[in-house]
Structure 1
Amino acid sequence: MTSHTRIKFPAGFWEGLRQLGIAPHEVARKAGLPLTIINEPVVNSSQYFLIWQAYSDIIGDTAKGIIKLTTGFETVHFPPTVLAAYHARDYRDALTRMARYKHLCPPESLLITEEGDECTIELEWLYIEQQGPSMLVGITLAFLLELGRRGTGQPLTAKSVEFSHFMGDVQSLEAYFGCQVQIGGNRNKLTLHRSDLQLPFVSYNAELLEILTPVLDQSVDDQQPSHSIIGRVKWIMKRSLVGGRSNIQTVAAELGMSNRTLQRRLHNEKTSFKNLLTQVRQELAREYLADPSLDIREVAFLIGYEDQNSFYRAFKLWEGDTPSNWRTEHSRCKFDKLTLF
């Protein structure tokens, strides 16, 4: 991530700190930023992370800071992107909106997957060069559960939680989430009970959504890497392909549309979800095979194949050769080009 990435910083954050007895100027000074940052509606990525780290340092314990800000933040201070989720029809609709409108506030993004009796929400960084502070990770996932509790009016619990970094008092976090919290994992992931997603929101407000949704959707569309539906679908596929998670339900949900709507729009572009998935897999397979540090089994997994034999058959159809032969041949071609200079 570059320091030039622009991030909308909600003014309600500073009011939330005041409610916790923390003066905004204390955070600004701790972060080493000018006090004028408190009134800035937009910050860059470096400032964004410094603010969150400063809050964490002032609180002292990450877990304590997560719980205090998540539970103490009043609904009246929610930014429009969160209001659209809070006033959604049900918990599933709310989470879908959160994932979609997260694109308006990089650098984090949310990947939602439903399978069996579980719904997993994984936090990913759009720019992997720099990951955010533990406090930001924890609050992002904790608020998704808090959103469900406030919206449904019920004391929902998570099924499991996984964090990749130290998060302070784990027992406090387990008491808040109502489940086991794993520290030091490979991912930052919240797993919910899938049956909870159908619970209606008592805060549902159709009239407000009618005002907010078109404006927010247009803003998201304007920020996509491509205005083309094909470009947007392929972009999401590449982010969610590992382990076979790039299905039409996942992509449609992140785009904020139904499976049928997505299928219809792709049909209008004279393609299909299956065709685009094949294109993405082929493009990534060539890219990964060019990296000698990845073995072929890893390449198969990275492009969504759990079965290596299935990958071999697919690659033979794409390139007319096996992955190992293709890698050898293209490595030789690359070497031959280098020897010419």
Structure 2
Amino acid sequence: MGQLTDASVILRLGYQAMRRAGLSTEKILKKAGVALNQLQLNERTPLSAQQAFWTAAVDVSADPDIGLHLGEHLPLYRGQVIEHLFLSSENFGDGLKRALAYQRLISDAFHARLVIEDGRCYLANGAQAHPNTLVNRHFSECAISGILRFFKFLTEGAFQPIFIDFDFDEGAVADEYFRVYECPVSLGQKETRLYFDASILDHPLWQADPDLLHLHEQLALEKLQELERYDLIGDVRRAIGATLEQGETTLETVAAQLNITPRRLRSQLSDAQTSFQHILSDYRCRLAKKLLSNTHESIERIVYLTGFSEPSTFYRAFKRWTNETPVEYRKRKQHV
């Protein structure tokens, strides 16, 4: 897996929760370095960006339990492929197992698994995706609220949590957890767990439809394959960035960085309906535009930074990309 990311819906749900809670969304997003237009994009965001978001949310709200309290204002998770996959399943248990198979579509912070043992039934989220304790705590507390609301919606209110374990040591007071989740909470556990009665797994889902289920499974699989292609291209772009200045950016050097054979990399990129040359050209184009727009680096320096051996080769490539010379592009962008 490449860079860990969240689906765009995570950012949109967080934004709506902040608005419902009466917080200054503009202040929080600005402090976190998130532009409002990012909310309209259907692009995944790096998991690491949550550090800035939760830090800003704590600072602006002055609420040390902001994750827990924002969770109370989360809208119901709707309109996504996992919801449709869940709803078209025969019962809650079948839907849950299918949803877990595709949980990456929501966030790489989820590593949940269903455990039924010794008369206990729980969802466990093992490996901690967020090494930062603050981020892990607020994300986990907020996510649990969203999950509980979604499960109650699917079961028409029948789902009830019995107990919740969190894998962080410091959190809210016990009464506040009970008020929000309506069940006891324990901190400092080895993993985050949501305990519930196993009988709910047999709860029939009123929208169950075998034909639709097949279509939704196909769509979920396609989305997962699309995400794997996104991972691959991201890995290639990062490897290109690491080798560009050395002037040794070839399919072979990038494949070596990724610990795969050039032949396998070429095949994987072909399956992803792209090529190494296309990704390299796009990377160089974006980097050149950024340097020309936002810096005063000399053209000669930009030729070097973008991995071109000769200025003439760079000039021809840039003219092909933009129909402008580098000098014309810089003048236009820096005099706007």
Q: How high is the TM-score relative to the length of structure 1?
A: 0.54
**Structure 2 portions without partners, runs of 5+:** 230-336
Matched, 1:47 2:49: yes
Which residue pairs with 1:212 in the alignment? Answer: 216
**Which residue of 124, 149, 154 corresponds with 1:146?**
149
Paired residues for 1:1-341 under 5 Å:
4-10=3-9, 12-13=12-13, 14-40=15-41, 41-61=43-63, 65-66=67-68, 68-70=70-72, 72-76=74-78, 78-86=79-87, 88-104=89-105, 105-125=107-127, 127=129, 132-165=135-168, 166-204=170-208, 208-221=212-225
Aligned length: 223
Equivalent-residue separation in structure 2 for 1:135 and 1:144 (angstroms): 14
**CA deviation map 1:295-322 (0-9, x unaligned):** xxxxxxxxxxxxxxxxxxxxxxxxxxxx
2:8–2:44 contact (8 Å) kept in structure 1: yes
**CA deviation map 1:82-107 (0-9, x unaligned):** 44335543221232233222222213
Equivalent-residue separation in structure 2 for 1:20 and 1:222 (angstroms): 34
Equivalent-residue separation in structure 2 for 1:189 and 1:152 (angstroms): 20
With over 3 angstroms needed to count, the CA separation of the structure-2 counterparts of 1:183 and 1:73, relative to structure 1, is same
**Structure 1 portions without partners, runs of 5+:** 226-341
2:18–2:70 contact (8 Å) kept in structure 1: no
With over 3 angstroms needed to count, the CA separation of the structure-2 counterparts of 1:176 and 1:126, relative to structure 1, is closer
The structure having more radius of gyration, on CA atoms, is: 2
With over 3 angstroms needed to count, the CA separation of the structure-2 counterparts of 1:127 and 1:162, relative to structure 1, is closer
Secondary structure of the corresponding residue to residue 94 of structure 1: helix
Cα root mean square deviation, aligned: 3.3
**CA deviation map 1:233-283 (0-9, x unaligned):** xxxxxxxxxxxxxxxxxxxxxxxxxxxxxxxxxxxxxxxxxxxxxxxxxxx
2:68–2:141 contact (8 Å) kept in structure 1: yes
Q: How high is the TM-score relative to the length of structure 2?
A: 0.55
1:164–1:183 contact (8 Å) kept in structure 2: yes
Q: Which residue identity is paired with 1:113?
A: V
The alignment-based identity, stated in percent, is: 14
2:108–2:129 contact (8 Å) kept in structure 1: no
With over 3 angstroms needed to count, the CA separation of the structure-2 counterparts of 1:103 and 1:19, relative to structure 1, is same
